[in-house]
């Protein structure tokens, strides 16, 4: 009975989202990574609404969300064989692939901010997927936060940032992954990671040589901007041991000794609500998903890293 009621509520929310999106409106939707702020990817007006609601800089391109590879093939992009293999293995999932546009590309220039490429992924969330299927068109969706804030991993985070600025938020609970997708480009049979995420270099290296482009000024325009920042100052601590970290931070409760994907952004927001001045985060090893965490933490800390308990 309860399950039937839940399905009815979610069904109604899906209908409402589809109606809004078909009418050129925007809506916040749950994804497995972080909440997205969706609009029709083929409609320049809807895209303008997304940029305005988020206060997003005009030079930071959006990811286009599709239901499957068949929908990609209708967009008139160049699809190399390596992309097909990666899509088969990792879609639906947290891998965003950057495709070159052909001359006939249907993607409005506002999405990719004038670049000759478009970033595309299939979200692994049934609500999001069902909405794309019912719309019948792809949905552009950046993270559903105000630009610069930590990405939202609950509907409440979206509400806190965008209440009054958008017509609908669908509550799909906590995001399973909690960090944005891995963004890659493909060139000369090489995989270049522009933004690390839950799909790790180790997982991708089964398919081709992998290069991590984790520099401050990366090809991925979004990684250049101030990002993931709570109001508090974030201090990234590279500590030899957990003990060294604990000794360094002293009494403060605004600290994360073992950051994990699901809770990192939520912790930053929670500490802000408690009026923290400074938040200390211990940097993880950069293997596996640690690379994605490391990437987000050093950006939140504006690339300042404090070393403790080393070189004694
Ligand atoms: O998990 C995710 O990726 C979430 C959910 C909603 O799907 N979306 C998300 O979008 O994180 P956003 O807009 O916050 O981040 C998009 C990233 C930015 O770093 C942007 O620069 C990069 O993708 N990007 C988009 N188009 C690109 C392109 N054509 N070439 C290179 N990077 C691109
Ligand atoms: Mg974002």
Task: Quick: pLDDT tens for 11-32.
Answer: 899 999 999 999 999 999 999 9
Ligand 1 contacts (CB < 6 A) are 31, 33-34, 36, 60-63, 96, 98, 112, 115, 117-119, 123, 141-143, 180-181, 183, 194-195, 219-223
Give the Å distance between the CA of 175 and the centre of ligand 2: 15
From the CA of 197, which ligand is nearest? Answer: 1
How distant is the alpha carbon of residue 56 from its chain centre? 14
Residue nearest to atom 20 of ligand 1 (CA): 222
Give the side-chain half-sphere CA count within 13 A for 195.
22
Which numbered atom of ligand 1 lies nearest the CA of 219? 31
Least confident of 93-102, 112-121, 209-218, 300-309: 209-218
Q: Whole-angstrom Cα distance, residue 162 to residue 58? A: 18
Please state, for a pLDDT cut of 90, what percent of the chain lies above it.
88
Q: How many CB atoms lie within 10 A of CB 269?
A: 21
Q: Quick one: pLDDT at residue 1?
A: 55
Give the side-chain half-sphere CA count within 13 A for 180.
23
Q: Is the pLDDT of residue 217 over 50?
A: no
Which numbered atom of ligand 1 lies nearest the CA of 36? 6
Q: Quick one: pLDDT at residue 228?
A: 76
Q: Quick one: pLDDT at residue 222?
A: 54
Superfamily of domain 3-212: DHBP synthase (3.90.870.10)
- For residues 37-41, give the mean pLDDT: 98
Give the Å distance between the CA of 142 and the centre of ligand 2: 6
Domain with CATH 3.40.50.11030 in the chain: 233-308
Q: Is the pLDDT of residue 216 over 90?
A: no
Q: Whole-angstrom Cα distance, residue 99 to residue 286? A: 27
Please name which of 62, 263, 52, 57 lies closest in space to residue 162, comparing C-alpha atoms. Answer: 52
Please state, for a pLDDT cut of 70, what percent of the chain lies above it.
94
306 backbone dihedrals φ, ψ, rounded to 5°:
-105, 130
Q: Is the pLDDT of residue 214 over 70?
A: no
Q: Whole-angstrom Cα distance, residue 148 to residue 300? A: 9
Q: Quick one: pLDDT at residue 6?
A: 74
Looking at per-residue pLDDT, the higher value among 60 and 10 belongs to 60
Q: Whole-angstrom Cα distance, residue 88 to residue 24? A: 31
Yes or no: say if 146 and 5 are a contact pair by the CB < 8 Å rule. Answer: no
* For ligand 1, mutation pick of 29, 83, 96, 177 (most atoms within 8 Å of CB): 96
List, in order, residues 6 or more apart from 311 with CB less than 8 Å away. none
Residue nearest to atom 33 of ligand 1 (CA): 220
Please name which of 27, 10, 271 lies closest in space to residue 165, comparing C-alpha atoms. Answer: 27
- For residues 50-79, give the mean pLDDT: 96
Q: How far is CA 312 from CA 240, 244, 284, 305, in A?
A: 11, 12, 21, 18
β-strand pairing of 63-65 with 27-29: unpaired
Q: Quick one: pLDDT at residue 297?
A: 96
Residue nearest to atom 3 of ligand 1 (CA): 181
Give the Å distance between the CA of 235 and the centre of ligand 1: 25
Q: What is the pLDDT of residues 220-238, one digit of tens each?
A: 555 555 677 889 999 999 9
Domain with CATH 3.90.870.10 in the chain: 3-212
Give the pLDDT band of residue 218 (cuts 50, 70, 90): very low
Q: Whole-angstrom Cα distance, residue 185 to residue 96? A: 9
Q: Is the pLDDT of residue 138 over 80?
A: yes
- For residues 177-205, give the mean pLDDT: 97
Residue nearest to atom 12 of ligand 1 (CA): 142
Q: Domain spanning 233-308 has what CATH number?
A: 3.40.50.11030
What pTM was estimated for this model as a whole? 0.95
Residues by chain with Cβ below 5 Å of ion ligand 2: 143
- For residues 269-286, give the mean pLDDT: 97
């Amino acid at each position: 009975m309860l399950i039937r009621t839940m399905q009815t509520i979610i069904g109604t929310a899906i209908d409402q989202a589809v109606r809004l999106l078909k009418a050129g409106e925007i809506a916040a939707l749950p994804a497995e990574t972080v909440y997205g702020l969706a609009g029709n990817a083929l409609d320049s007006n809807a895209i303008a609404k997304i940029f305005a609601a988020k206060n997003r800089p005009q030079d930071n391109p959006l990811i286009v969300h599709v239901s499957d590879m068949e929908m990609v093939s209708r967009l008139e992009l160049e699809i190399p064989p390596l992309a097909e293999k990666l899509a088969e293995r990792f879609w639906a999932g947290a891998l965003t692939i950057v495709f070159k546009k052909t001359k006939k590309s249907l993607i409005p220039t506002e999405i990719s901010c004038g670049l000759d490429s478009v970033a595309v992924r299939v979200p692994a969330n049934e609500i999001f997927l069902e909405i794309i299927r019912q719309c019948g068109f792809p949905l552009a969706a950046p993270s559903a936060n105000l630009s610069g804030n930590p990405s939202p991993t609950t509907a409440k985070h979206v509400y806190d940032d965008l209440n009054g600025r958008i017509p609908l938020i669908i509550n799909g609970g906590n995001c399973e992954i909690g960090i944005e997708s891995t963004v890659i480009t493909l060139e000369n049979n090489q995989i270049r990671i522009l933004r690390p995420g839950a799909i790790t270099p180790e997982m991708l290296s089964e398919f081709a040589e992998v290069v991590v482009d984790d520099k401050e000024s990366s090809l991925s325009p979004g990684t250049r901007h101030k990002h993931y920042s709570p109001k508090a100052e974030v201090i990234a601590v590279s500590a030899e041991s957990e003990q060294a970290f604990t000794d360094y931070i002293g009494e403060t409760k605004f600290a994360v000794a073992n950051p994990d994907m699901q809770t990192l952004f939520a912790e930053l927001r929670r500490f802000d609500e408690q009026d923290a001045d400074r938040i200390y985060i211990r940097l993880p090893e950069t293997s596996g998903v640690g690379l994605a965490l490391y990437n987000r933490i050093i950006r939140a800390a504006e690339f300042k890293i404090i070393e403790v308990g080393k070189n004694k």
